[in-house]
Structure 1
Amino acid sequence: MTPELRRSLGLFDAVVIGLGSMIGAGIFVALGAATDAAGSGAGLLWALGLAAVVAYCNATASARLAARYPASGGTYVYGRERLGSFWGYLAGWAFVAGKTASCAAMALTVGAYVWPEQAHAVAVAAVVALTAVNYTGVQKSALLTRVIVALVLAVLACVVAVSFGAGGAEVTAVGEELTTGGVLQAAGLLFFAFAGYARIATLGEEVRDPARTIPRAVPLALGITLAVYGLVAVSVLTVLGPAALASSPAPLADAARAADAGWLVPLVTVGAAVAALGSLLSLILGVSRTTLAMARDAYLPTALSAVHPRFRVPHRAELAVGAVVAAVAATVDVRGAIGFSSFGVLVYYGIANASAWTLGGRARLLSALGLAGCATLAFALPLGSVLAGSGVVAAGVVAWSISRGRAVPPRP
């Protein structure tokens, strides 16, 4: 009999893990790039709202499915059970590939803030350290994530306060002509920041009373994150303006300088690094659980399905994921990682919405809207990201045709 994971997470810890996965990426990595793509402050705010709508549809689909199938693997499990083995496999493939790139992006963010001259080396060290934390048990990971989220929220609150206090710029001033394509591309980049709520669903086998906890935790985490992102975006636009925000490599630090709050700059630097570490911690956790589920069904090497007898975690999957992420972080740049990650994650959620559609009920319209939104944002991303992501998906189809002969049938 396959050992099961320990159910140790309650509602608060599940929400905190979701917050740790989301808060940080959009603010410290994607905010400036999204403003540049949107072409204006107004475009950025429209893009933020659009990304939030798609994320809400996806969150609703994920919560409904996770309550029905409370097992590790997320949409890999949902797609397999609702649409068939191929779609579940493809969701898992897209998730592992996309989120591996996300892990690398977060690790490189740590390096860029902590030691820019040695960003890749710092990134690899961060991956090794957080893989070790996850290896010792998910409860310890949740406790560390709680501390990280509290610190990051405190830093963001300071940025919002000093930025609104200074003011001076026109939030909706147009830097370039606002276009639908620009807003959609910006929304695709900002979606990268919202995608962490799936971390709660992928922990379904480790949450107490998952049928009740997961549907409550997902919208709570998403709602808190949207409120934080909206406040930070508007406050930074208020003090910097859209043109300066679009060109800034460190917009929150620049906002503090523009507000004559130089004392806040070191705290923002620490907050950025800590936020990226929090995201990385939860990302490695989620990718390893999907790897575990796929290995159990022989779509990945079955050795990765082992659960540690003492810590009750998928230790081989975690080590394998950590090794791959470290290799990627040592070789790629952060912008390429973000674009590739967004494409893979949008494919994953597209399958989640299609799976939720088969459940019927009043939420069916949200599933259709989420599926359409995922497809639109995925193909609005920069061409290089679309081509690379499509190539990886195609490689996944080839791998499916090779591996399905030895895969196990879906479990009832």
Structure 2
Amino acid sequence: MKQKVELNSSPELKPGLNLVSAAAISIGATIGAGIFAVTGIAAGEAGSALLLSLILAATCTLLTAISFIELISWKPAEGSIYYYSRELVSPFIGFLVGWIWIISTLFTGATVALSFAHYFRDVIPLSLKSNQIALIIIFLFTILNYIGLEESAFVNNLLVLLKILILIAFVVIGFFFIKPENFRPLSFSPPHIFIAAAIIFFAYGGFARVAIIAEEIKNPRKTVPKAILLSLLISTVIYFLVTFVALGLAGAVRLSHSGAPLSTAIRQTGLKWTGLAVGLGGVLATASVLLPSLLGVSRMGLAMSRQRDLPAAFQSIHPKFHTPAAGVVATGLVMALLAYFFDLSKVVSISSFSLLAYYSMANISALRLKNWSRSYPVIISWAGLIFCLAIGFFLLFSQPSTLVISLICLLIGTILYLFRKKSANF
């Protein structure tokens, strides 16, 4: 007997992720290159007050996370704040939010791939150049995303577990070698503490990545908020302990002069093998950030294509693997080109500013919810918005070129938005 086939049906995304996998994706996107790289840069700004900057960045992230929870409780949506700002603010603002997030994450992903390559060459010396290794890892992770999210989630869970174990070992071993004098004198300069908080915020940037794949998570109204809060709690505890131990081992000055601050810190123990272990942690950390970056951009492309903000090809769902095939391939290709041809060491400030703008819109969208029974006081969203704007101001104060580059990206996005209305391919 022939089965009835609906001619207008199309493959849909498969909701197969549970709380553990969802939280692991968020943790993997959060605890990554940031904790291994920006600790030294932030220490150069805040000095021995580095922990105050960490607390400030964590507070900003927590307030914004609560706004996310309000929005997700209202309506889970593939695309996250892009969708919410489009529905609650305006379609144009929503497009710009999604566009800037994609640009930021593409550059961040390429940077992370290059960072992975440098750590990998430190652990296993190879004749391959760093950009060649970056191409290989992007290619492999693109395949993982192409063949199915659950396969990607398994690998991501493994990377997150190994990375956390290495960071815990760093804390436990390093704790016994802390020198109290490295915490003195306590430097207190509010502008520099805010600048350091903006830098550290980059390390928190992926906490809400799981919201972008809400349609692929089981019971997203309950699972996504739990995953966000769980990942934020775990990430903050690990960040605080690692930063405390690193500062106690090496001091702010030594950390600020190191491109690999955690390796520099652990070497103060005199245990030779610890440097190799932390190098391996750097490999795992950067790898576990690259995977969610590839994942997130392709899903954002899917969400924007559904609203005709990107070409219809990005709506293509693979009939077997149930993944946005065109988006996955395009994301991997662009990241690979950026990683191969560009030095992206200075793009951290661009990504951070874009993330702050992105999360500001999360708070604004939460403030615009009408006729909705809130789980949290509205003052929390106001506080989250103020924190994001304040930290963003100090980031621009320290990196004026970030504003120029961000405006150029906005201009390109605006042109694309206007062009889409005249094209039949959207």
TM-score bracket, normalised by the shorter chain, equals: over 0.9
Structure 2 length normalisation: TM-score?
0.91
CA distance in 2, matches of 1:106, 1:157: 22
Aligned counterpart, 1:386: 403
Contact 2:37–2:261 (CA under 8 A) maintained in structure 1? no
Question: Over residues 186-217 of structure 1, what are the superposed CA-to-partner deviations in whole Å (9 max), with x where a residue is unaligned?
Answer: 11111111121221100111000111111111
CA distance in 1, matches of 2:303, 2:66: 22
Q: In structure 1, the residue corresponding to 2:15 is in which secondary structure?
A: coil
CA distance in 2, matches of 1:3, 1:196: 28
Aligned counterpart, 2:3: none
CA distance in 2, matches of 1:132, 1:36: 39
- Judge which range, 114-123 or 44-53, deviates more: 114-123
* Structure-to-structure mapping, 1:10-409, within 5 angstroms: 10-38=18-46, 40-42=47-49, 44-115=50-121, 118-174=129-185, 178-359=188-369, 361=374, 362-381=376-395, 382-404=399-421
CA distance in 1, matches of 2:356, 2:110: 18
- Judge which range, 161-170 or 245-254, deviates more: 161-170
List runs of 5+ in structure 2 lacking aligned partners: 1-8, 123-127
Contact 1:69–1:77 (CA under 8 A) maintained in structure 2? no
CA distance in 2, matches of 1:179, 1:408: 53
Question: Over residues 60-86 of structure 1, what are the superposed CA-to-partner deviations in whole Å (9 max), with x where a residue is unaligned?
Answer: 112221232222111111111111211
Q: Cα gap change, 1:172/1:407 in structure 2, threshold over 3 Å: closer, same or farther?
A: farther
CA distance in 2, matches of 1:383, 1:335: 16
Amino acid in structure 2 at the alignment position of 1:309: P
Contact 2:115–2:286 (CA under 8 A) maintained in structure 1? yes
Q: In structure 2, the residue corresponding to 1:312 is in which secondary structure?
A: coil
Contact 2:306–2:312 (CA under 8 A) maintained in structure 1? yes
Amino acid in structure 1 at the alignment position of 2:103: A
Give the C-alpha shift of residue 47 in structure 1.
1.2
Percent of aligned positions with the same letter in both sequences? 33
Amino acid in structure 2 at the alignment position of 1:94: I
Question: Over residues 270-306 of structure 1, what are the superposed CA-to-partner deviations in whole Å (9 max), with x where a residue is unaligned?
Answer: 1101110001001110111001111122211111110
Q: In structure 2, the residue corresponding to 1:330 is in which secondary structure?
A: helix
Q: Radius of gyration: which is bigger?
A: 2
Please provide the CA RMSD for this pair: 1.9
Q: Cα gap change, 1:295/1:25 in structure 2, threshold over 3 Å: closer, same or farther?
A: same
Give the C-alpha shift of residue 406 in structure 1.
5.6
Structure 1 length normalisation: TM-score?
0.94
Contact 1:10–1:213 (CA under 8 A) maintained in structure 2? yes
